[in-house]
């Protein structure tokens, strides 16, 4: 595996939760969340392996305020809010990962959402993952950490993610946590 930022067959892109409810106008909108679509599309067209994760909540999910959770209902199964952003151009061979589909269990990490994801990626020869999506301070952070725990090199695409920012500075703290755990922070324009 090259140590530079040139794409090769051992690289995969993971696009995290770029769904309608996390984009402007959605039930749990991330400010400027739709701006991650362009960089992700550009890299998806160049990567041999692409993974797309998405929340897929039942209507009574434990993370919703009505069940005592912190969030408004979002990404409810079979609703428009759970759909990927319409401008995303995932390749036909994209590996789709649904997570948090059981009412009693939340899941932020794409590797926990699909426990065989690391094995599937290794079967394809993947050694390094590039990660972007929504939101920096929750599912992107946890997916980056999950990839590192699984033994992959990780490039966190800072221009291809946006933060919820429940507390001011959450996004920057998440980036610092990714870097401290071993991820490389980069912009998609730096990927050769």
| Buried/exposed code over 69-103 (b: 16+ C-beta within 10 A; e: otherwise) | eebebbbbeeeebbebbeebebeeebbebbbbeee
**Apex 175 CA angle, 174 and 178, nearest 5:** 90
Q: Is 99 a catalytic residue?
A: yes
The catalytic position among 17, 21, 34, 55 is: 17
The catalytic position among 34, 75, 99, 137 is: 99
The catalytic position among 23, 75, 107, 139 is: 139
Q: Is 21 a catalytic residue?
A: no
Q: Is 109 a catalytic residue?
A: no
Burial (Cβ within 10 Å: 0-12, 13-18, ≥19) of residue 104: exposed
Q: Catalytic residues, which ones?
A: 17, 99, 139
């Amino acid at each position: 595996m090259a140590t530079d930022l040139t794409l090769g067959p051992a690289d995969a892109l993971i696009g995290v939760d770029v769904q309608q409810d996390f984009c402007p106008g959605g039930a749990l909108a991330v400010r400027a969340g739709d701006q991650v679509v362009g960089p992700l599309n550009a890299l998806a067209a160049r990567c041999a392996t692409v993974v797309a994760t998405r929340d897929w909540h039942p209507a009574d999910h434990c993370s919703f305020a009505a069940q005592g959770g912190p969030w408004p209902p979002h990404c409810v199964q079979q609703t428009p809010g759970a759909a990927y952003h319409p401008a995303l151009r995932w390749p036909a061979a994209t590996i789709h990962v649904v997570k948090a589909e059981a009412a009693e269990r939340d899941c932020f990490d794409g590797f926990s959402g699909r426990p065989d994801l690391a094995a599937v990626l290794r079967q394809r020869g993947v050694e390094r993952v590039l990660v972007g999506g929504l939101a920096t301070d929750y599912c992107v952070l946890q997916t980056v950490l999950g990839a590192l725990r699984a033994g992959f090199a990780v490039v966190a695409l800072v221009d291809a993610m946006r933060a919820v920012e429940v507390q001011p500075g959450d996004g920057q703290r998440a980036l610092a946590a990714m870097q401290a755990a071993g991820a490389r922070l980069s912009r998609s324009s730096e990927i050769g």
